[in-house]
């Protein structure tokens, strides 16, 4: 029996950044926290805090519990009964990587609980397999901008430190869109011309982000692989993607599978209020209420606290994290 309490802070993420479908991810300054410890009572107890986790199961079908058991199995350890607590500022099913943050937080917490037996790369491989693509999980795990490829059995990645002048404005519509539905809208085939367009855009975007050439973003952050096909699911999206640069954005994209829309903005821009008003009014014209949020790319991936001995006995999970909570 270990008396260790693990608390993991895990960032939200945006996937694709326009052209990098299933390959580009960026961690964002919006977080979830997961606490995990071995249950002293011999029974699993799962507590969910805050408004963003409504409807999530608190029995052993809970994703965090199941992912933790996969880590224990992989590490050759038996820990069937756990105490798990979670709080999240990341809205569910909006394209901000909430499921990836839960998977990554669970993998990292469970691994810390068993003394870090699995490597970060092993956790990345497991997370990619669970999520079905490496973009969100890579960003949540490693932080920054993560460029990744997955061949169905092996994932590889390179992390890029985000430019200090990059700000992120998101408009989060007041409706949910499942990744499954948004992936269903995609065609099974595209033309060679569109494939070449995306290859150029995505390669240029990665090079621009890696070399800090932010002036190339407006040209590079364009996509013909998935956004045009998803546009019908998010009224107002096409206009935002077409015109955001006219209102001072460096570029605009659907965040992951949506419905959140994301713009990259130069932090020195004098036109931030104008851009925010444009996003809200464009969605508003379609009858869609949206919440806007100014975020930063998050350089850190997961941050782990290990509490043991007397330290593990004092203060509750919510008391431990309350100084850091956002919205």
Q: State yes or no: residue 22 binds ligand HSE (CB under 6 A).
A: yes
Of the candidates 81, 79, 96, 112, the residue with the CA atom closest to the CA atom of residue 8:
112
How near is the Cβ of 24 to ligand HSE at its closest, in Å? 9
How near is the Cβ of 132 to ligand HSE at its closest, in Å? 8
How near is the Cβ of 253 to ligand HSE at its closest, in Å? 10
Q: Applying CB under 6 A, which part among 35-43, 175-183, 211-219, 279-287 lies near ligand HSE? A: 175-183
Is the Cβ of residue 23 or residue 83 nearer to ligand HSE in the bound state? Answer: 23
How near is the Cβ of 276 to ligand HSE at its closest, in Å? 24
Is the Cβ of residue 76 or residue 152 nearer to ligand HSE in the bound state? Answer: 152
Q: Within the chain, how many helices (H) and strands (E) appear?
A: 12, 11
User: What element of type H or E holds 8?
Assistant: strand 5-15
Out of 10, 11, 12, 16, the only residue in the binding site for ligand HSE (CB under 6 A) is 16
Q: Output the known binding site.
A: 91-101
How near is the Cβ of 133 to ligand HSE at its closest, in Å? 5
Chain Cα centroid distance, residue 38 = 27
Residues 71, 118 contacting (CB under 8 angstroms): yes
Cα–Cα dist 183/15, whole Å: 13
The first and second tokens of residue 238, run together, are: 């096409």
How near is the Cβ of 96 to ligand HSE at its closest, in Å? 10
Phi, psi of 23 (to 5 degrees): -130, -30
Is the Cβ of residue 185 or residue 304 nearer to ligand HSE in the bound state? Answer: 185
Tell me, residue by residue from 183 to 202, as one string, x for binding to ligand HSE by CB under 6 A and - for no binding. x-------------------
Residue 24 contacts by C-beta under 8 Å, 6 or more apart in sequence?
A: 15, 16, 17, 135, 145, 146, 147, 148, 202, 205, 206
Of the candidates 226, 259, 225, 228, the residue with the CA atom closest to the CA atom of residue 242:
228
Is the Cβ of residue 4 or residue 224 nearer to ligand HSE in the bound state? Answer: 224
Is the Cβ of residue 94 or residue 159 nearer to ligand HSE in the bound state? Answer: 94
Hey, which residues between 117 and 136 contact ligand HSE (CB under 6 A)?
133, 135-136
Cα–Cα dist 224/245, whole Å: 18
Q: State yes or no: residue 20 binds ligand HSE (CB under 6 A).
A: no
Q: How does strand 45-49 pair with strand 82-88?
A: parallel
Is the Cβ of residue 68 or residue 257 nearer to ligand HSE in the bound state? Answer: 257
Binding site residues, ligand HSE, CB under 6 A? 15-16, 21-22, 133, 135-136, 179, 182-183, 226, 256-257
């Amino acid at each position: 029996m270990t008396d260790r309490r693990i608390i993991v802070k895990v960032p939200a993420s945006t996937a694709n950044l326009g052209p990098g479908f299933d390959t580009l991810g960026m961690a964002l300054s919006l977080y979830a926290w997961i606490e995990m410890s071995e249950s002293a009572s011999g029974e699993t107890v799962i507590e969910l805090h805050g408004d963003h986790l409504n409807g999530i199961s608190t029995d052993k079908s809970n994703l965090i519990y199941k992912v933790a058991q996969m880590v224990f199995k992989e590490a050759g350890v038996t820990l069937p009964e756990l105490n798990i607590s979670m709080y999240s500022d990341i809205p569910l099913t909006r394209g901000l990587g909430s499921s990836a943050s839960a998977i990554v937080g669970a993998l990292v917490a469970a691994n810390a609980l068993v003394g870090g037996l699995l490597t970060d790369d092993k956790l990345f491989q497991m997370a990619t397999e669970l999520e079905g693509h490496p973009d969100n999980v890579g960003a949540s795990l490693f932080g920054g901008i993560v460029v990744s490829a997955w061949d169905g059995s092996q994932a590889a990645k390179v992390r890029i430190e985000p430019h200090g002048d990059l700000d992120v404005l998101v408009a989060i519509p007041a409706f949910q869109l499942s990744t499954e539905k948004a992936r269903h809208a995609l065609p099974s085939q595209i033309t060679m011309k569109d494939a070449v367009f995306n290859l150029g855009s995505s390669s240029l975007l990665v090079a621009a982000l890696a070399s800090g050439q932010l002036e190339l973003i407006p040209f590079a952050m364009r996509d013909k692989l998935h956004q045009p096909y998803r546009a019908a699911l998010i009224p107002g999206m096409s206009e935002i993607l077409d015109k955001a640069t006219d209102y001072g954005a460096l570029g605009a994209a659907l965040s992951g599978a949506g419905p959140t829309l994301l713009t990259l903005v130069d932090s020195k821009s004098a036109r931030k209020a104008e851009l925010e008003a444009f996003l809200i009014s464009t969605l508003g014209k379609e009858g869609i209420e949206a919440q806007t949020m100014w975020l930063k790319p998050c350089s850190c991936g997961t941050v782990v606290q290990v509490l043991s001995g007397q330290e593990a006995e004092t203060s509750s999970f919510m008391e431990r994290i309350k100084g850091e909570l956002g919205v």
